Amino acid sequence: MKTIFKRPEALADFPTHYCPGCTHGITHRLIAEALDELGLRERAVGIAPVGCSVLAFNYFNFDFQQAAHGRAPALATGIKRGRPDLIAFAYQGDGDLASIGMAEIIHAANRGEKFTVIFINNAIYGMTGGQMAPTTMPGQVTTTSPFGRNVEDVGYPFRMCELLASLRTPAFIERVAVHRPKYIVKARKAIVKAFRYQAENRCFGFVECLSTCPTNWGMTPHKALDWLEENMLPYYPLRNFKDPETDENPEPAQGGGDAS
């Protein structure tokens, strides 16, 4: 009998603690599929952040380290500089990466560290209970922005891909979404590519995954998918920002641009 669907070897047979409708599970699976496809599982070291995915080490079937809040890129740097033959990736949320870990991510990208970052942007702090994140949308209500994010007071949400793409160092940087099958197919391709570039020792890889948080957004899972589409896609365009294959002579990328 031909197998057409099975659990990736890189994914552990372990129930997750994620809320119903949360997209972490999709992204976990994409990572596992990518590592299996490229045959990298036995060399892989994942890094779990502080946030909802703090327990990610339980959900994958390969080596893992658990990091202090925001420091996953520093751990990954230590791992790759110590053992360049390993395949390291940091799995980080928006508070972890774009707030407390801003210095670590920018410097790792600028050094061109040969590891992969999977950046989960769901516009909110999940684990701590729905506080305003550096990526919270203008006007978005959270537990610490009860009147909506006031950009006059706290500024606009960070666009991390655009920020990192402005660096001169070659990299693979792409923003994807995981809320509809058609986007998930593209997300999978970007994740595979980022890991392939790492395996080829070519460049730093950064894949931002626009994700949902039905629980802290206060919506049904279905409504959350629509909310992402309507509110996040216009502000966070889905596209490739940098690719060593196409950037013959990479120059600082221009912000914005059409979704591709």
Write the DSSP symbol of residue 84.
T
Nearest residue (CB) to other proteins, 78 versus 252: 78
Question: What's the half-sphere exposure (Cβ side, CA atoms, 13 Å) at 199?
Answer: 17
Other CB atoms within 10 A of residue 200 CB: 10
Cβ at position 15, least distance to other proteins in Å: 16
Contact present, 80 and 113 (Cβ < 8 Å): yes
Work out which of 23, 27, 35, 60 binds other proteins, going by CB under 8 A: 60
Q: Which is nearer to other proteins, 107 or 196 (CB)?
A: 107
Query: The dihedral of CA 173, 110, 131, 136: what is its sign?
Result: negative
Please, what is the minimum distance in Å from the beta carbon of residue 51 to other proteins?
A: 12
Closest approach of other proteins to the CB of residue 62, in Å? 5
Nearest CA among 85, 89, 74 for reference residue 28: 89
Check binding of 99 to other proteins (CB under 8 A): no
Token pair in block for residue 233: 């896609």
Compare residues 34 and 74 and give the one whose CB is closer to other proteins: 74
- Between 84 and 257, whose beta carbon lies closer to other proteins? 84
54 binds other proteins, rule: CB under 8 A: yes
CB of 54 or CB of 178, closer to other proteins: 54
Phi, psi of 75 (to 5 degrees): -60, -45
Shortest gap between Cβ of 12 and other proteins (angstroms)? 8
Three-state SS at 153: helix
| Tokens describing residue 112 | 């061109």
For other proteins, how many residues bind (rule: CB under 8 A)?
A: 36
Nearer to other proteins, 111 or 186 (CB): 111
- Residue 258's CB is within 10 A of a number of other CB atoms, namely 7
Binding residues vs other proteins (CB under 8 A): 41-45, 47, 54-55, 57, 60-68, 71, 74-79, 81-83, 85-86, 88, 103-104, 106-107, 111
